[in-house]
Amino acid sequence: MGSQPRAVIFGLAGPFLDSAERSFFAAANPLGFILFARNCDSPEQIAALTGELRRCVRRADVPVLIDQEGGRVQRLKAPQWRAAPPAGRFGTLHERDAAAAIEAAWLNGRLLAADLQPLGIDVDCAPVLDVRVPEGHDIIGDRAFGGSPERVAKLARATCEGLLAGGVLPVIKHIPGHGRATLDSHAALPVVDAPADALQRDDFAPFSALADMPLAMTAHVVYAAFDPAAPATTSATVIRDVVRGRIGFDGLLISDDLCMRALAGAPGERARAALGAGCDVVLHCNGDLAEMRDVAAACAPLSAAGAARLARARALLQRPAAIDRAAAGRRLAALLNGPVTA
C-alpha cells in the first residue's frame, strides 16, 4: 500500500483528462474526484473517465463524487438519465402520507444509486438536511425536504438507506445547517444570528438524527452564536463544539467547495484554513489547474483519524442487489402522484 492520499477532492476541466491533468493528479495523489455536468457526456464516457481517474492515482478504491440530488441539482441530466424529483416533493407527500413518503424517498435513493454505481461513481453529495425556513435564501428552497426537522430527518434517512442499498455512499449536507442563511454562499458569506437554542432545536436536529452517516459536507455559513468571525468550514469552534460535539458527527467531514465566494483568501489559504479548523478533506471543484496546484501544496496527507473515518465509510459499500428500474420508477411515480395503494 502506497502513501496516504492527500486530503483533497478535485474537480476536472472536461469529459476527458488531458496530459497536464493526468500528470498533476498522479503526482498530487488526491483522496478523490468530483464530477460535474461538464465532465459527463454519456454512460460509456463516464465509466471510462472514472476508471482512468482511479488508474491515474493507482488506487482502485478512490472515491468519485457527484451532486445528484434531483430537481435543480443533478449533474446527470435528462433525457439520458432519469429526472429525479426535488426533495421538496417528498416533504409535500409526507404531509399527507408519511409512510408513502418514506417509501418514495427510499426508492428515489435506490434509483439514484442505480444511475451512479454502474458508472463508477460511488459517492452522492446528497441528501440535503437543511431545514427550510421562509426567510432563507432560495439556494436551498426545494432542495430541502421541508420545514420540519423531524420530517427532514426521516426522509433524509430513507434516502441515505436507498443510496447505501444501491452501493453508493451518501453525503449529508450542509452541516450544521444552511436553511436559515439569507445569502447564497456561492456568491457571498451568509451570517446566521439565531440563538444557540434555536439552532440546536431546529437546524442541528436532522444532522444529530443522522450523525451515524459516514460522510458530511460543511456549510460556508457564519453561526454568530458560536463563532462570529468564521464560517463553519474554517471555524475550529464550530467543528469541535457543534459538528463533533453537539451534533455528534464522527464521520468523514468534507468542506463545501473552496471556490465559493463565501470564503476569503487564495485557494491554498482556504484549504489550510479548512483543514486547520478540523475538516478531514477539502473539496475544490472548478478544475482550474493553477488553483489545484496551490491547493495541493497546502494539503497534507489524510490524517490518521480521517483515514479511519474513510475506512468506516468504505466498509458500508456493498454490491447492490438487482433492481427492476422500470418497476421501481412506476412505483415511485404512483407514490408521488397518488392516490397511494398498498
Would you please indicate which residues are annotated as catalytic (active-site) residues? Answer: 186, 256
Alpha-carbon distance of 159 to 89, in angstroms, equals: 13
Going across the sheet that includes 123-124, the strands are: 169-170, 123-124, 64-66, 30-35, 6-10, 281-284, 252-257, 215-218, 172-175
- What is the phi-psi region of residue 58: left when phi exceeds 0, alpha when psi lies from -120 to 50, beta otherwise? left
DSSP per-residue letters across 24-71:
HHHHH-EEEEEE-GGG-S-HHHHHHHHHHHHHHTT-TT--EEE-EEET
C-alpha cell, 92: 409535500
Q: 68 forms bridges with which residues in the sheet?
A: 74
Which of 39, 46, 47, 54 is CA-nearest to residue 5? 54
- Give the H or E element holding residue 163: helix 149-165
Alpha-carbon distance of 203 to 84, in angstroms, equals: 25
Question: Residue-wise over 79-93: b if at least 16 C-beta within 10 A, else e?
Answer: eebbebbbbbbbbbb
Name the percent of the chain in helix, strand, coil, to the closest 5.
Answer: 45, 15, 40
**Cα 304 from chain centroid (whole Å):** 22
